Structure 1
Amino acid sequence: MTSPVNAEPTPRKQLRGPSILVAICIGFAATCGVITGGMAHATNDPPQVRYEVSGSSGIAEYLSYQTRGGQRQEANVTLPWSTQFTGYEGEVLVLSAQGDGTIACRILVDGDVVKDATAAGQPGRTVCSYTKTGLTRTPTSPTGAPPPR
């Protein structure tokens, strides 16, 4: 006598829960920058800010700029001029300069030009301003027009 053959196959266990959890973890890790295979990733390091001024006369009659320590002013500054400091998120960066002839200002964040402007006149006045928002930065280099007198 033979034993009866079971016509229905034994059901397989499906591991849907763990598979979904693994997929969620991989997606979260990629979003947070843990998996960096070719992805740009955010940084928690404070940004390095650099202000630069150059001009045809070699002298800026007046400079004004905003840093973490507050508003600074300098007079009769030899050009080219620059200063660097550690910034923070949400900071408003402002640099203005005045001098005879052509005068230019630039703001750099982590080495990338985020704003530049050039003006000419007697005196030439130029202003660069930039507001830092978010940790991911896209470098741009727009040319600003001279401010109204």
Structure 2
Amino acid sequence: MPSTHCVPLHRGRIFAAVLMTLATTAGISGISAANALPTLPKVRYQISGPPVAEYISYQADDGQHQEANVKLPWSKQFTAFGTEVFVISAQGPGAITCTISLDGKVVSSATAHGQPARTVCTQ
């Protein structure tokens, strides 16, 4: 009979050890997540205004880009690529607006008027 009482006690110790290991691992993972590097923001460029922009120029995660005779509204989204400066410019007839958003929050916006209108946003 003593062995019968010993087995449940032994199982209880194993169960307690497993619980302690899980709790410790969860605690360590929580600390790791808190100290993890921040995620890079989602960048969104937008141009609005006349039906067509004569040109749009912007810096993205894969380099400098230029587009001509672009239908508006126009947008481009990408993940930020480090400690960079975000730049977008556009030209078109009348009023033309550029906008830069990071993770959905507008951080730069500008509107220009003219023939042609030229607008630039930087962040």
Residue of 31, 34, 39 corresponding to 1:45: 39
Report runs of 4+ in structure 1 exceeding 2 Å deviation: none
Identity of aligned residues (%): 58
SS of 1:92 mapped into structure 2: coil
State the 1:60 CA deviation: 0.2
Aligned AA (1:109): L
Aligned AA (2:58): Y
Aligned AA (1:75): A
State the 1:89 CA deviation: 3.4
Residue aligning to 2:53: 60
Residue of 116, 120, 129 corresponding to 2:109: 116
Aligned-CA RMSD value: 2.0
Gaps of 5+ in 1: 1-32, 35-41, 131-149
Cα separation, 1, equivalents of 2:107 and 2:114: 24
**Greater share of helix:** 2
Cα separation, 2, equivalents of 1:92 and 1:79: 24
Q: TM-score, normalising length from structure 2?
A: 0.69
Q: TM-score, normalising length from structure 1?
A: 0.58
State the 1:88 CA deviation: 3.0
Gaps of 5+ in 2: 1-32
What are the within-5 Å matches in structure 2 for residues 8-87 of structure 1? 44-55=38-49, 57-87=50-80
State the 1:43 CA deviation: 6.8
Aligned AA (2:69): N
The answer to which structure, 1 or 2, has the higher relative contact order (CA under 8 A, 6+ apart) is: 2
Residue aligning to 2:8: none
Cα separation, 2, equivalents of 1:116 and 1:94: 11
What is the total number of aligned residue pairs between the two structures?
A: 92
Residue aligning to 1:103: 96
